[in-house]
Structure formats: C-alpha cells, structure tokens
Amino acid sequence: MPTLAEVEREACSCIRCPLAGGRTNVVFGVGDPHADLMLVGEGPGRDEDLAGVPFVGRSGKLLDKLLLQEMGLDRRSCYIANVVKCRPPGNRDPRPAEMAACRGYLDAQLDLIQPRVVVTLGNVATRAVMGTNDTIGHLRGRTYPFRHGSRGHGCLVPTYHPAAVLRGGGEAMAQMRADLVRAKEELVRPGNVAGEATGGVAGEATGGAAGEAAGPPAVAGQVHR
C-alpha cells in the first residue's frame, strides 16, 4: 500500500484531466494523516491554487473559526482535502468527468487516513462522497453511516460549504454550526459503528464515485477498494 506522501507525489504531476492545464499548484490536502476528522470540499479556488493549500481564503478563515468554536479543533488536528485537486477555471463546479478522473486520490486519502468522521462541505462534495444527487439542503442535519477502507465503520456529516455560509448569512451559519456540533458528538461517541449512526436516509455512504468512472490513478488505485 502506498503512503499518503507517495499518493501526493503522483497527484502533483497528474495530467489525468483538463484541470491540470490551468493550475498553479496541485492542492492535494493538508493536516494530520492520522486524523479522526476529515473535511472534504469540492475543489481549490484562486487563493488555494496559488498557495497549494485547501481552504486558505475567506472560506477557509470561516472554516477555521467554526472548527475552533464548535469543535475545539484547529486544522492541524484534522485533515482537509477536496474532491478535485486542481482549480476549475473561474471557480466553476468540477465536472463529473473531472471528479471521476480525480476520484482515486480522494479514495486513497480516505483509505490511508481512515477518519472516524467525514464532514462534506457543500453540494458537490456531499454528492460525490455519498453518491447521491440529493441537495445539501435536504441531506444536512443528519448523520450517515460511512464505510471506507478497512476501518469498516464511521460516519458522515454533510454541511454547507463555508462560501455558501458567507453568502447565506445567519441561518446558514447557525445550521453549519449545528452540523459541526453533530460531528463533534460523533467524534467522541465510542465505536461509531455504521449501523448506529443516526438518521441516515440515503443508506450507507460507501464512498462510491459520482459521475463517470475513469479508473483510479495508478498509485492511488493500489488502495482503491
């Protein structure tokens, strides 16, 4: 099984999809490779592309603040990644083919880190990780069982993307805060057995790819299940 560093090295020279042509940096992920909590966004924006680090702009500052206030965590104690590792032009949503091409890297991150709790940020990430077309407005507010890799149990808490909270104001902010509190409760819950996760309506989120399957990257594919 490759290490996270080996998967990152492969991603950094990846040209599997057209997003490679417009990037300044591959934004692979950041944080504790043994984290219990992993946050997944949709893709890098301009600031992230320039820095090579996820969630460093205004959205990132809000995420950092809410993580600290609601969970007592800073970003060094969790792991943060995106569904696609290169910036979509004009900050558009990543396309299904781009997400499929990049999916092996996220799967490898999930397999190697094996977080107990995954928080998806926004429609794109939630749909991709849960394998659903449902909306974040409908999916959030509950905790879903999540199985990935050999850990075999854990849970997923969907919430808004912090950029949407910046646009949406008070109610969205309150809902995101509540979601992070829910994620914290799951972090301290003993076991986190998939069947015990609460309120799942979409069945088991098993990490299935959304969109067209293009096969995993070579290194990441070695840990793709």
User: Residue 110 or residue 155: which is nearer to ligand SF4 going by CB?
Assistant: 110
Q: Which tokens in the block code for residue 180? A: 């992070």
140 binds ligand SF4 (CB under 6 A): no
DSSP-derived letter for residue 205 is: B
User: Residue 15 or residue 213: which is nearer to ligand SF4 going by CB?
Assistant: 15
**Order of strands across the sheet that contains 37-41:** 30-31, 79-82, 37-41, 117-121, 155-159, 144-145
11 binds ligand SF4 (CB under 6 A): yes
Closest distance of CB 130 from ligand SF4, Å:
20
113 binds ligand SF4 (CB under 6 A): no
Question: Which positions from 93 to 112 touch ligand SF4 by CB under 6 A, shown as an x/- string?
Answer: -----x--xx----------
For residues 53 and 172, give the distance between their C-alpha atoms in angstroms, rounded to a whole number.
Answer: 25
CB 37 within 8 A of CB 117: yes
User: Residue 85 or residue 184: which is nearer to ligand SF4 going by CB?
Assistant: 85
Among 7, 84, 108, 194, the residue binding ligand SF4 under the rule CB under 6 A is 84
Q: Which tokens in the block code for residue 95? A: 């396309």
117 binds ligand SF4 (CB under 6 A): no
Phi then psi for 80, rounded to 5 degrees?
-125, 130
For residues 95 and 18, give the distance between their C-alpha atoms in angstroms, rounded to a whole number.
Answer: 10
Q: How far is CA 52 from CA 56, 61, 95, in A?
A: 9, 16, 21
Closest distance of CB 53 from ligand SF4, Å:
15
87 binds ligand SF4 (CB under 6 A): no
17 binds ligand SF4 (CB under 6 A): yes
Closest distance of CB 50 from ligand SF4, Å:
15
CB 89 within 8 A of CB 201: no
16 binds ligand SF4 (CB under 6 A): yes
For residues 112 and 223, give the distance between their C-alpha atoms in angstroms, rounded to a whole number.
Answer: 8
* Interface with ligand SF4 (CB under 6 A): 11, 14-17, 19-20, 26, 84-86, 98, 101-102
